[in-house]
Amino acid sequence: MQGVTGKMGPVPSEDLDTRVRLAAFEFLKEQVRLHGEVLPASVLRQGFEFQGQQVRLKGVQGIFKPKLLPEMPLSITTAPPEPNRDAPYDDGFTADGSVLLYRYRGENPRHHDNIGLRRAMEERRPLIYFHGVVKSEYFAVWPVYVIADEPNALRFRVAVDDASYMSPGLSVVSDATADARREYVTATTRRRLHQRSFRTRVLHAYRKRCALCRLRHERLLDAAHIIPDSDPLGDPIVPNGLALCKLHHAAFDQNIIGLRPDLTIHVRDDVLKERDGPMLVHGIQEFHNQEIRLPSRIDEQPRQDLVQERYKRFLSAASD
């Protein structure tokens, strides 16, 4: 295999592959520190500089190889859902969350992108997985490994691993516990992905403002569940969410404020009668009977059955 000439002279292809992947992982660590786990597509398309060459982390297609690594992919991507449109691929996790099922590029197992992923599987190369949360924003996961090829189903099986088990040379500790470890890490990652996706989608739906007080500081906003996620009805979907600042999220969770079926705020009677200071007056009491700010899309607005159920629980808690 040919090498690439860099500032330090020719670099063997095998070593180049390792160094680029390690540099990509370090770049992503820094970007997550700056932006959080959900990264803007612009950062991923721009990438980073390596030996005078720009290395992008994702492209238009789901299976992506930067020009510097022509043989094996660096990343795989699941496109974000689009309103009222079917997803282009049926990527998803198994029912227990222990494996990611990643769709082939097209229907030809010999497509060069599928061949590249197959080779990454054979050589145990770590990849980056970008899960589209909303348009132009991606949840970043690494290292992930292709662990099986299923040509009859036109898909690969992919597992997430703990980066601490990866040596500086990218070799991975393989022992009797490796499969169990990867199943656990993948399932944990899936839960994190759903939590981050729920937050991102809810905040986008509410235009990154508190539905009550209109606060715009994103770091002070939460995605509150109308029905708690611990409840069988508490699905992590936008119609079961409200964008609330941390004060109003806490007040909602503690049943200090409730949401009526007509989407107006009900401040608990005993709290309305309290005399405490300006924070209580302006932060809680003044919102009594006020309408919340809603998403512009009807399918993202609070679902009536969920609001009614939560309001029943609020009234019951308020009467105790």
Within-domain flag for 48: yes
> d(Cα 31, Cα 25) in Å, to the nearest integer?
10
What's the chain's average pLDDT?
Answer: 90
Domain of 116, in residue numbers: 8-202
Within-domain flag for 87: yes
CB neighbours (10 Å) of residue 103?
Answer: 21
Residue 215 and residue 196 share a domain:
no
> d(Cα 161, Cα 187) in Å, to the nearest integer?
11
Residue 299 and residue 251 share a domain:
yes
Residue 198 and residue 133 share a domain:
yes
Dihedral, CA of residue 188, residue 145, residue 155 and residue 131, to nearest 10: 50
Residue 155 and residue 62 share a domain:
yes
Of 182, 202, 222, the residue that ends a domain is 202
Measure CA 159 to chain center.
16
Q: Per-residue DSSP letters for 284-304?
A: TGGGTTPBPP--SSGGGSPPH
Residue 149 and residue 15 share a domain:
yes
Within-domain flag for 287: yes
218-225 average pLDDT score: 96
Within-domain flag for 2: no
Which residues, 6 or more positions from 238, have their beta carbon under 8 angstroms from its beta carbon? 198, 201, 202, 205, 295, 300
Of 202, 227, 255, the residue that ends a domain is 202
Residue 63 and residue 24 share a domain:
yes
User: Token pair for residue 128?
Assistant: 């980056």
Residue 277 and residue 161 share a domain:
no
Residue 264 and residue 171 share a domain:
no
User: Token pair for residue 306?
Assistant: 């969920």
> d(Cα 308, Cα 151) in Å, to the nearest integer?
47
Which residues, 6 or more positions from 173, have their beta carbon under 8 angstroms from its beta carbon? 165, 167
Query: How many Å is the maximal CA-CA distance in the chain?
Result: 78
pTM of the model: 0.81
Instruction: Provide the number of structural domains found in the chain.
Output: 2
Q: Out of 109-113, 165-169, 195-199, which region has the weakest mean confidence (pLDDT)?
A: 165-169
Which residues, 6 or more positions from 34, have their beta carbon under 8 angstroms from its beta carbon? none
For tokens 């974000």, the residue is 80
253-281 average pLDDT score: 95
Residue 74 and residue 32 share a domain:
yes
Within-domain flag for 88: yes
Residue 183 and residue 225 share a domain:
no
**pLDDT confidence tier of residue 261, bands split at 50, 70 and 90:** very high
Peptide bond into 151 cis (omega under 30): no
For tokens 């069988």, the residue is 232
Within-domain flag for 234: yes
Within-domain flag for 248: yes
CA dihedral over 17, 20, 26, 27, signed as positive or negative: negative
223-232 average pLDDT score: 93
Q: Residue 311's pLDDT is what?
A: 97
Q: Residue 166's pLDDT is what?
A: 77
For tokens 């997550």, the residue is 32
Residue 147 and residue 96 share a domain:
yes
Q: Residue 244's pLDDT is what?
A: 98
Of 184, 202, 220, the residue that ends a domain is 202
CA dihedral over 83, 86, 89, 94, signed as positive or negative: positive
Within-domain flag for 73: yes
Q: Does residue 65 sit in helix, strand or coil?
A: coil
Residue 216 and residue 197 share a domain:
no
Helix residue ranges per DSSP H, 167-260: 178-205, 246-253
The tens digit of pLDDT for each residue in 35-88 reads 988 999 999 999 999 999 999 999 998 999 999 998 899 999 999 877 655 444
